[in-house]
Amino acid sequence: MADKKTSWFTHFAKLTASQAGRPRTFAIATLVVVIWAAVGPIFNFSDTWQLVINTSTTIITFLMVFLIQNTQNRDSEALQIKLDEIIRSLEGANNVVLNLEELEEEELDSIRERYLALAREARKVRDSKDGDD
């Protein structure tokens, strides 16, 4: 597969998501809050002083949700493709389960019930063999 240049948004989302969870980022955020709290008396704990932190954190949180969701969606899609490839490559695998994430809820429930029944049957067989020992 040829290397393809990633879009600026994909690159930005990956970088931001990876940096957001680092201890250094947490330390910087904590420092910002400590500085904000320390300057509270200078501004007499005014409404404007409170509005600065409230607005800042709201905007950052709002934007981070989209960036992290983008990264999560891409990771989930890649994982699904990898699982589909493993299923496809296994001899005797049930290829019906490829791409299940595209099915409707009722279809997923029906397939899940079949696998639950298979699991119950396998446990019965195992338990009967354990009882024979």
pTM score over 0.85: no
Residue 25 to residues 44, 79, 127: CA-CA distances in angstroms?
A: 29, 27, 52
pLDDT in tens, 60-92: 999 999 988 998 999 998 998 898 889 889 888
Taking residues 48-66, report their average pLDDT. Answer: 94
CA–CA distance, 55 with 32 (Å, rounded to integer): 14
Here the tokens at position 86 are 């493993």
CA–CA distance, 105 with 108 (Å, rounded to integer): 5
DSSP, res 90: S
